[in-house]
Structure 1
């Protein structure tokens, strides 16, 4: 964006969410519409105060119509959920984990966690939409139950899951966000997968759509999973229902993100080793395909197998972009085959990520004159908040200690003697099995 968003002013009396004031997601009289993406809060029952400060500052600076959470809000592996923990969705719970009292305790902990990071939105009257990642369910609650908990809070637009017989021909249903968007409709598929039309100022037509997609969690063959077939069928049907192109928000990136990268020799400064199917090469951002100011801090952790999502986006001509979280240290935007792809870093301080000043929310500003070409920028902690208040040693560890040996070697490719020495130590730590907070 040509103009950087500044910190919000206490004297600014404009409504935080214009759409909430109007009762529906729609473009303003100014011809603008704004969305704020929050990725990978990934914290336990006590959410970091710096995460809350970033959410508050981003909402005040961006004044979004809608906030989108793109998964891994809940660190399901946190020790607080040990008695109901499920490593994989197909795992049976531990012996005794189905105890009603233990599950009730987990529900209350999760509800309290959600309340903390939603409170800045509730206080400001901002509607929000939620999808899920590969850690949310690990607390022992599936996405359907998490969806129900989110809907308890004012502003949630997640619709009730569609019945199986409704999937063939998707139909609009109310998504009033507990009265905050009383005239809003949604197209529902399954928990974390739904579409929201965005209307013009006069509500005569849909200008665009916002699709939240549950991108799956883990594959039984290893690595990360993919959207369900039901979700992919839904994705195929959305364009004809909304009658406009849509932007997809999901947790796990798709393999086509690697089209935005350039293979380079391993000795190249800042080169990053690819993930699993792509780990035979090292990469940097392709400057010809990505916007200036982006950064690649870790390999793009996509599924091993292409599920066909990008093909659907192209064949239907119903989508103009896809933005994901998941890779906490990546923050870039580019275009491949006419589709905008973007990686958003973590906004949380409870897990690994970039240095504190670079943890961020992503703002999208749409213009009704060219709605499929949004301007986007990262609202970084250092710019809109300042210095973190968290424990310095802990924050350093979450920013600099690698989550695996490959990350340690990536760190060694950063120029400078200090980085090399730090990376050598980090590689030794990683080889001993220290993983820090998880991806």
Structure 2
């Protein structure tokens, strides 16, 4: 009987601590820190992948973020479940809440996309725990709020599945957001606005850059920070996600991966179109050094600070967005 009671106590304690971890809140100093890891291209048992684990551990131990976001191409080789176990243990062991979005390589091995999603949502501290939404394409689409000091919603974070490859025989290249995903975003954004009678600042995370990334960077009039070392590998079709974000008025910045050697932020009509920092290693092509993008929100302000932290602690491209004169 004592053993049963002890087991019950342990279970309840675990459930309560996990539940508390699911509610995001701004800190007492009104800040909220996010670490974005992208394109880890993890292979369980591969020696190069150990470098990614070490980089993630060092980044999290130094910065102690309030949230981690994995923006696709996380585990790309069998055994898939073991790979996810090893990657997510980095955040789970530190009890850090996290979001996961899929890339184009996350479902190319032994598990299909829905099977990967079904496994990932069993993990503790994951925030976007709905594997699929009825009537909405893709997996792990979700939105979570960050609470302010009053306990009310103060900022919104979107995680979305930007798909993998074109499923239309007449169109090549990468996939695109379905119209039902765009509509889901519009409705979700509107519901948050209605609940607060205000437009809350928001960030959006996904894997494949929108077509507007190239449009924005090609126009030299748009302010930018960081570099473009390869062409943007965006989908050939544009289904209007950027337009939906612009018209909804909440999204301040989008954060993607996919193009490993791009790490820029470019302002486009008041939305920061941003790349993370390649977090993988020699398993695939890479920038000079791998690392993470750091993002810090400030409660009550429509702005964020961001920079890239490389594996050795080097800091690149620090910026407070909006750029001066753009507020």
In the superposition, the TM-score normalised over structure 2's length comes to 0.81
Change (3 A) 1:131 1:20: same
Tell me how many residue pairs correspond in the alignment.
Answer: 287
Q: Is structure 2 residue 147 aligned with structure 1 residue 199?
A: yes
Q: Deviations over 1:394-420 (max 9, x none)?
A: xxxxxxxxxxxxxxxxxxxxxxxxxxx
Q: Is structure 2 residue 234 aligned with structure 1 residue 252?
A: no
Contact persistence 2:100–2:128 (CA under 8 A) = yes
Q: Following TM superposition, by how much is the alpha carbon of 1:149 offset from its aligned partner in structure 2, in angstroms?
A: 1.2
Distance 2:138 2:192 in 1: 18
Distance 1:288 1:321 in 2: 14
Q: Which has the larger radius of gyration?
A: 1
Give structure 1 stretches of 5+ with no counterpart.
1-18, 81-108, 168-188, 264-285, 386-439
- Equivalent runs, 1:214-233 vs 2, <5 Å: 214-219=161-166, 220=168, 221-233=171-183
1:301 corresponds, among 219, 233, 236, to 233
Q: Following TM superposition, by how much is the alpha carbon of 1:134 offset from its aligned partner in structure 2, in angstroms?
A: 0.5
Contact persistence 2:21–2:125 (CA under 8 A) = no
Contact persistence 1:20–1:127 (CA under 8 A) = no
Change (3 A) 1:304 1:228: same
Distance 2:133 2:96 in 1: 28
2:300 corresponds, among 369, 375, 383, to 369
Q: Secondary structure at the match of 1:114?
A: helix
Q: Following TM superposition, by how much is the alpha carbon of 1:61 offset from its aligned partner in structure 2, in angstroms?
A: 1.8
Q: Following TM superposition, by how much is the alpha carbon of 1:353 offset from its aligned partner in structure 2, in angstroms?
A: 0.8
Q: Is structure 2 residue 92 aligned with structure 1 residue 122?
A: yes
Q: Is structure 2 residue 273 aligned with structure 1 residue 317?
A: no
Distance 2:60 2:19 in 1: 14
Distance 1:325 1:158 in 2: 19
Q: Following TM superposition, by how much is the alpha carbon of 1:198 offset from its aligned partner in structure 2, in angstroms?
A: 1.1
Change (3 A) 1:133 1:162: closer
Q: Following TM superposition, by how much is the alpha carbon of 1:247 offset from its aligned partner in structure 2, in angstroms?
A: 0.9
Distance 1:23 1:261 in 2: 36
Q: Which residue of 2 aligns with 1:380?
A: 310
Q: Which residue of 2 aligns with 1:420?
A: none
Change (3 A) 1:23 1:117: closer
Q: Following TM superposition, by how much is the alpha carbon of 1:164 offset from its aligned partner in structure 2, in angstroms?
A: 2.7
- Equivalent runs, 1:17-416 vs 2, <5 Å: 24-46=23-45, 48-75=49-76, 78=77, 80=78, 109-161=79-131, 164=134, 191-203=139-151, 205-219=152-166, 220=168, 221-243=171-193, 244-262=200-218, 286=220, 289-291=223-225, 294-349=226-281, 350-355=283-288, 358-370=289-301, 372-383=302-313
Distance 1:116 1:287 in 2: 44
The runs of at least 4 consecutive aligned structure 1 residues that moved more than 6 Å come to 19-22
- CA root-mean-square deviation: 2.4
Distance 1:261 1:23 in 2: 36
Change (3 A) 1:40 1:20: farther
Give structure 2 stretches of 5+ with no counterpart.
1-17, 194-199, 316-327
Contact persistence 2:222–2:267 (CA under 8 A) = no
Contact persistence 1:328–1:346 (CA under 8 A) = yes
